[in-house]
Amino acid sequence: MKGRCFCGSVEYELTSPIQDSYYCHCRDCQYMSGSSFRVLGIVGSDSLDFKSGELSEFGKPGQIYFADNLAHGRSTRSLVSQPDPSS
């Protein structure tokens, strides 16, 4: 499966199927989606191959988010997140 962020600056490819999916209703997901929930897919980190673009890191205790070109103000929606290993 191939995909990209909304503005097209980051392209990626999943090299194995999505393991699971769910709806998240936490405040962070509501804020990032502009909705009452966000649909998330779970994949292994070795299954996600970024083809182009650069990701910026942001987060809060317990979670790290990666998004396309945050430093350039082009997006505030995360493409990828992972637990913060230091917490």
Contacts with 44 (C-beta within 8 Å, 6 or more apart), sequence order: 16, 19
Phi, psi of 45 (to 5 degrees): -60, -25
Domain ranges, residue 63: 2-83
State residue 77's pLDDT score.
55
With beta carbons less than 8 A apart as the criterion, state whether 41 and 29 touch.
Answer: no
Element (H, E) at 28: helix 27-33
pLDDT at 36: 94
Residues of the chain whose pLDDT is less than 50?
Answer: 70-72, 74-76
Q: What angle do CA 74, 78, 81 make, to 5 degrees?
A: 150
| pLDDT for the residue 84 | 62
DSSP class of residue 9? S
The tally of domains found in the chain comes to 1
